[in-house]
Structure 1
Amino acid sequence: MPTPPRLSIIIPTLNEAAIIEATLTHLQAARAAGAELLVVDGGSQDDTRARATPLASRVIESEPGRARQMNAGAHAARGRQLLFLHADTRLPPGAEAAIAAALAEGRDWGRFDVRLTGRHPLLPVIAFAMNRRSRWTGIATGDQGLFMTREAFAAAGGFPDQPLMEDIEMSRRLKRRSRPACLRERVTTSGRRWEQGGAWRTILLMWRLRWRYWRGASPDDLARAYRHVR
C-alpha cells in the first residue's frame, strides 16, 4: 500500500472553470513533492470538473455548500495534515514546509497571512487589517488558507454545516485546542469580492454580518442577507 501523503490540499469549487486550471497548475510542484490535491465540486454547471481532473489527485462530487464540500474532502483525504484552500488562492513558496514546521512545534492548526490582488487601492489596507485582526483574536478566515492536523479536524467535529461563517466557527472550535500558528508567509487571494461589491460597502457588510453572528444571529439568516446585498 502506498505511503499516505503528509499533506492533503482540499479545494472546494463551484463554477470555477475560469480559474481552476491556473490554481491547480500553481500547485503541481507541491503535488510532485508528495502532496495530495483534492478538488471537491459542489455541482458546477460549467466544466470545472473536466478542467480539474488532469491536474488533481482526485476530483470528488459533493452536496453544495463550502462547509459540506470541505468536510467531504477531509473524509476522503489520506494526508495527516489538511490544508483548505479557496479556488482563487495561491500558496507562497515553501508553504508545505512552513505548515509542517508550525504543526511540529505543537500547534494543532494555523493560517497564513494574506495578500489581496486587484486594482483597488484599499486592498493592501484590507489585507493588513485581516492579518492583524486574526493575530489579535486567534480567528482565521478561509481566505488565509486554514490548515490543521487530522486529529484537530476530527476533534472539532469538522466544519459546521452552515452556509456562512463556517471558518469563524471552525476557528472557535480549534482555539479550544491551541492558539493558531499565524504564519507570516502570504497566500495570494483575489480581491474580486471587494472590487465587485465595492470596497467600503463590502467591508461594512462583513463587519455587520460578523457582529450579528457574534450576537447569536442564525447563519441561515446571515447568508440570506449576504446574498441579497450581493
Structure 2
Amino acid sequence: MIDSPSQGLAPVGAIIFTRYPKPGTTKTRLTPVLGPRGAAWLQEKMTRHTVSQLRAWRKKSGGWLQIRAVGASPKRVQAWLGQDVPVQSQGPGDLGDRLLRAFQEGFAQGVERLVVVGIDCPELDEETIAQALQSLEAADLVLGPATDGGYYLIGLRAMAVKRFTPLFQGIDWGSDRVLSQTLERGQDLGLGVRQLSPLSDVDVPEELGVWQRARYQTQPMISVIIPVLNEAAEIGQTLEEVLTGENLEVIVVDGGSQDKTVEIVQGYGEALSTPLRLLSSPAGRALQCNVGLQAAQGEWVLLLHGDTRVPRGFDVLMREVLRDEGVVAGAFELAVASPAWTLRLVEWGVRWRSRWLQFPYGDQGLFISRQRLLQLGGVPDLPLMEDFELVRRLRHLGKVAIAPVAVVTSARRWERLGVLRVLLLNQLIILSYFLGISPKRLAQWYHRRRG
C-alpha cells in the first residue's frame, strides 16, 4: 500500500529500485564467474550498501524514502531489508513503465522533487543524492550518467509533471543508448536538464573492482600462500586465476619438486607486476604454509592448494566475508573439474558439511587474518589433517563462513583411486584421528593407500 499523504511527507524524496536476490534471476552477467548464488549474494550486498547510503541521506535531510522491488512480495523484501523503509512493488511493464509509475505515485503523495536510483553503482552516496535534489531546484530533469551508457540516477520535479510522461517511451532499455536517448527526449519535451558526475556500475566481471574500491577506501592486502610439490600440470592455471585479484602478493613455497614446477613459477614472477615470490622448504603442506606465513605481509591470508583454481573476483568475496561481524575465517565452496555425476554428489556433500557444520577443508581455500593465524601458532604442524585441526581451532573462536562461489580443484585423486575409495579413506582418517591415532602414523597409512 502507498503511504498516505496525511503522513506529512517532506518535499524531497528518493526511491530505490532493486531486485530480490534470487539466484539465477539477478546480476546474470556475473554468473559465468560468480555462479548464480554468488551473483545473487553480490546483489544483496550492493542493495544493502545503497539502502544504507539512502538511510544516511534521510536522517540528515528528513526526506522521504521508499524501496521499490521486483522478484518478491513487499512483505518479503521488508523482512530482508528492514521495517524502517516502506516497500512497494515496481509493478508490471518495462523499466520505463515502472519508472513512470514510481514518479507519478511519489508526486501524488506531495513530494516536490524526487530521484530514483538503482543499486548498481557503489560510489553513489548521500552527497550525490543531495546534489541531485539541489539541482532540481532549477532543472526539471537531472541524470547521473553511468559509464556503460545508462544512468544510475534520474530525478524530476513535480512542476514538470505534465511534460515528463513521454520521457520514458521509446527507450532501448538495457543498451548503451539509454542515457543519450533520455537526454534527447528531455530536450524534445523542453525540460531543463542537469547532469551529475559519471559513476561506474558493477554489471560484468571486469567491473568487480569498482565495488571493492568504492566500498573500502583502503583494500587490505591479501597474501596468497600456495604450497606445491610436483604441480607442473596445474600450477600455471592456478596462478593465472590468482593473479586476476587486486592488491595481493603471491607466495609459492616449493617442497622439492622434481618436475618443472619451479621453472613455471619463476616464469610468472618475471612476467607480471604482482609481487610473486618463490620460497623453498622441506616437503609437508603445514610446514610449507608456515614458511609462507612468516614471509607474508598482507593483512589477510589465503591458503591455496597448487591444483585449485579460484573464481574471478575471489579477492572481492574474501574481503566481504571477512568483514562480516563474528566471522573469524572463511572458505569457498568446492567444484571438481570433472563431468562425472558421482563428483556432483561429492560437491553436494562438501557444501552441506561446509555450510551447516562450518567445517571446510583445505582444498576449499581457507582464508583468515594473518594476525589471527599467527596468534594460533600458524597452521598446525601435522603431517596430515593440518587443515582439519586448523578449522577445529577456528570454530572455537567464531564463525567460519563460506563464500557462495566455488573454487575448482583437480579431479585427479578421485579419478586415480575412485570416488568411493577416496570418501572411505577420508572418513577412516577422520575417525582414526578422533580415536587418538597419531597423525604421523595416519599419514604413513594414508599415503600407502593412495599409492
- How high is the TM-score relative to the length of structure 2? 0.49
Unaligned 5+ residue runs, structure 2?
1-217, 270-275
The one-letter amino acid paired with 1:228 is: R
Q: Kindly indicate whether residue 224 of structure 2 is the aligned counterpart of residue 29 of structure 1.
A: no
Identity %: 40
Question: Structure 1 CA distance, aligned partners of 2:356 and 2:419?
Answer: 23
Task: For 1:60-209, list aligned pairs within 5 A.
Answer: 60-106=279-325, 107-209=327-429
CA distance in 1: counterparts of 2:363 and 2:280, whole angstroms: 22
Aligned to 1:6: 221
Q: Which residue of 1 aligns with 2:16?
A: none
Distance in structure 1 (CA, Å) of the matches to 2:444 and 2:348: 28
Supply the distance in 1 between the matched residues of 2:442 and 2:356 (Cα, whole angstroms). 24
Change (3 A) 1:155 1:176: farther
Answer with 99-108 or 71-80: which moved more: 99-108
Q: CA deviation at 1:192?
A: 1.3
Give the Å deviation of 1:136: 2.6
Please tell me the residue identity of whatever aligns with 2:253.
Answer: V
Deviation of the 1:214 alpha carbon: 1.6
Is the aligned partner of 1:15 residue 2:230?
yes
CA deviation digits over 1:144-203, x for unaligned, max 9? 100000122012211111111100000011112211011111111112111111111111
**Post-superposition offset of 1:28:** 2.3
1:46-77 Cα distance to aligned partner (Å, 9 max, x none): 22111101324100111210000011111111
- Structure scoring higher RCO (CA < 8 A, sep ≥ 6) equals 1
**Residues 212-221 or 78-87, more deviating:** 212-221
Q: 181-190 or 21-30, which moves further after superposition?
A: 21-30
- d(CA) in 1 for partners of 2:295, 2:229: 18
Q: Which amino acid aligns with 1:97?
A: V
SS in structure 1 opposite 2:334? strand
Distance between the aligned counterparts of 2:219 and 2:279, measured in 1?
18
> Partner letter of residue 13 of structure 1?
V
Is 1:224 the counterpart of 2:437 in the alignment? no
Change over 3 Å in CA distance of 1:179–1:5 after alignment to 2: closer
Post-superposition shift, 1:137? 2.3
Distance 2:332 2:442 in 1: 26
Change (3 A) 1:86 1:186: same
Aligned-partner Cα distance in 2 for 1:216–1:131: 27
Out of 248, 257, 263, the residue aligned to residue 44 of structure 1 is 257
Q: Conserved in 2, the CA contact under 8 Å of 1:4 and 1:79?
A: no
- Structure 2 equivalent of residue 214 of structure 1: 434
Higher alpha-carbon deviation: 186-195 or 134-143: 134-143
- Determine if contact 1:5/1:80 at 8 Å carries over to the other structure: yes
Counterpart residue identity of residue 238, structure 2: T
CA–CA distance in structure 2, aligned partners of residues 139 and 152 of structure 1: 18
In 1, distance between residues paired with 2:349 and 2:419?
13
Larger Rg computed on CA atoms: 2
Amino acid paired to 1:219: P
Structure 2 letter corresponding to 1:131 = R
What letter corresponds to residue 15 of structure 1 in structure 2?
A: N
Number of aligned positions between the proteins: 226
Q: CA deviation at 1:4?
A: 9.9
**2:337 maps to amino acid:** T
Secondary structure, aligned partner of 2:351: helix
2:241·2:312 contact (CA, 8 Å) conserved in 1? Answer: no
Q: Partners of 2:227 and 2:282 in 1: how far apart?
A: 11
TM-score by length of 1: 0.93
Residue range with higher mean Cα deviation, 130-139 or 69-78: 130-139
Is the 1:109–1:152 Cα contact (8 Å) retained in structure 2? no
Deviation (angstroms), 1:217: 1.4
**How far apart in 1 are the matches of 2:356 and 2:372?**
21
Structure 2: how far apart are the matches of 1:16 and 1:182? 26
Question: How far apart are residue 27 of structure 1 and its match?
Answer: 2.1
Residue 397 of structure 2 aligns to which amino acid in structure 1? R
